[in-house]
Amino acid sequence: MESSAVTGAIPAGRAGPDGAAREEQTKNAAVLSSDFETFLKMLTAQMKNQDPLNPVDSTDYATQLATFSSVEQQVLTNDLLADLAQAMTGGTLQQLGSWIGRDVLAEDAVRFDGTPLVLRPDIAPGADAARLVVRDAAGAVVQRLSLDPTEPLVAWRGLDDGGAPIASGIYSFEVESLSGGTIVAQQPAKVYNPVIEVRREGDATLLTLSGGSEIDASSVTALR
């Protein structure tokens, strides 16, 4: 059965949280700047109030400046090393942790709870028509819906031919490309899918999607 229960849709994006590591570096820089200004004030006061009969040797001033400069450089170096260590170990995992609750574009099953699902169907070149095939968790065909080849994004509203809501559950999607009424290509449809977990396995970072499946984070082509 065919229906037109799909609509064009361009969903709005959602911003992720700021990184705690960047906030910590900003705080360190502010403290360092404040300490340096305090040091200069103390050094100036020392020069103004020194004993005229027994002035501090200029070498001592140079030593004090060099010592503080060395400490300042060490603090900055430590921040740089911390950044490098984070990037080499858990940095990627922490960054991708902000993806939890956001939608990634993937060719995988997705949980439908009554909210329209947004898809980006790939239609074969030269096709003059296309259909969206909707399957339930058991793989049975639930619907075949006509697609407009000119629409890059479509929304599946989860309504049957009579306009009644389809039951919530796990669904997957395919695109049938047609030419002259004949199917010339059939492939999975990419759908925006909420991320519910991020984890590491060896060198790979895996995303658990709303349907319970896992994909490699490197396979994601879009995020919103």
The CATH code of domain 2-8+101-193 reads 2.60.40.4070
Q: Name the residue with tokens 């169907």.
A: 121
Q: What is the mean pLDDT of residues 89-103?
A: 72
- The continuous run of DSSP H or E covering 82 comes out as helix 58-88
Distance CA 111, CA 11 (A): 18
Query: Is the pLDDT higher at 141 or at 77?
Result: 141
Query: Is the pLDDT higher at 42 or at 160?
Result: 160
- Mind listing the pLDDT tens digit for each residue in 163-219? 999 999 999 999 999 999 899 999 999 999 999 888 888 878 888 998 888 888 888
Cβ contacts of residue 97 below 8 Å, gap of 6+? 198
Distance CA 131, CA 145 (A): 5
pTM over 0.95: no
Q: What is the mean pLDDT of residues 62-91?
A: 59
**CA distance between the termini of the chain:** 32
Distance CA 39, CA 31 (A): 12
* Amino acid sitting at position 98: S
Distance CA 43, CA 58 (A): 12
Domain ranges of the chain: 2-8+101-193, 20-96
Pick the closest to residue 209 from 192, 190, 222 (CA basis): 192
Distance CA 146, CA 176 (A): 10
- Mind listing the pLDDT tens digit for each residue in 17-61? 444 555 555 555 555 555 667 766 776 776 677 766 666 666 666
